[in-house]
Amino acid sequence: MGLVKEGAATGHALLVILAGDTSCTSVMPRNPSITQVLQCLPDSLDRLGMCGSELKTSEGPTLDMQLESLEKRQAANGEINWVTAVFMGLFHVGAVAALFFFTWKALFVAMFLWWVSGSLGIGMSYHRLLTHRGYKTPKWVEYFLTVCATLALEGGPIFWVATHRIHHQFSDQDGDPHSPIEGKWWAHMGWILMGKSMHHDTTTLARYVPDLAKDKFHVWITKYHYVPMIVLGVILLAIGGLPFLMWGIFVRTVVGLHATWLVNSATHSWGTRRFATRDLSTNSWWVALLTFGEGWHNNHHAHPTAAQHGFTWYEVDVNWYGIWALKQLGLAWDVKRVRLADLENGLAAAPNGRLVTAAMPEVMAAGD
Q: Does 327 map to a domain?
A: yes
Asked if residues 276 and 353 have their Cβ atoms less than 8 Å apart, the reply is yes
Strand partners, 296: 283
Backbone angle region of 92, left / alpha / beta, with phi > 0 → left and psi within -120 to 50 → alpha: alpha
List Cα–Cα distances, 223 to 65, 104, 149, in angstroms.
14, 35, 14
Tell whether the model's pLDDT for residue 321 goes beyond 50.
yes
Number of continuous H segments (helices) and E segments (strands) in the chain: 19, 4
What is d(CA 281, CA 273) in angstroms, rounded to the nearest whole number?
7
What is d(CA 337, CA 348) in angstroms, rounded to the nearest whole number?
11
Domain that holds residue 50: 11-22+35-360
Q: Does 61 map to a domain?
A: yes
Q: What is the reported pLDDT for 74?
A: 56
Q: Does 213 map to a domain?
A: yes
Q: Does 209 map to a domain?
A: yes
Which stretch, 43-57, 131-145, 331-345, has highest mean pLDDT?
Answer: 131-145
Q: What is the reported pLDDT for 20?
A: 52
DSSP per position, 75-88: PPTT-B-HHHHHHH
Structure confidence at residue 45 as a pLDDT band (50, 70, 90) = very low
Q: Does 368 map to a domain?
A: no
Q: What is the reported pLDDT for 77?
A: 60
**Residue range 121-179, pLDDT digits in tens:** 999 999 999 999 999 999 999 999 999 999 999 999 999 999 999 999 999 998 899 99
What is d(CA 120, CA 96) in angstroms, rounded to the nearest whole number?
26
Tell whether the model's pLDDT for residue 362 goes beyond 70.
no
Residues near 357 by Cβ (< 8 Å), separated by ≥ 6? none
Q: Does 16 map to a domain?
A: yes
Tally of CB atoms within 10 A around 79? 11
Tell whether the model's pLDDT for residue 54 goes beyond 60.
no
CA 238 remoteness from chain centre? 32
**Residue range 97-123, pLDDT digits in tens:** 999 999 999 999 999 999 999 999 999
Mean pLDDT over each residue of the chain, to the nearest integer: 82
Number of domains the chain contains: 1
Tell whether the model's pLDDT for residue 243 goes beyond 80.
yes
**pTM of the full predicted structure?**
0.81
Q: Does 365 map to a domain?
A: no
Pick 187 or 366 by higher pLDDT.
187
Q: Where are the beta strands (DSSP E) in 147-231?
A: none
Q: What is the reported pLDDT for 6?
A: 45
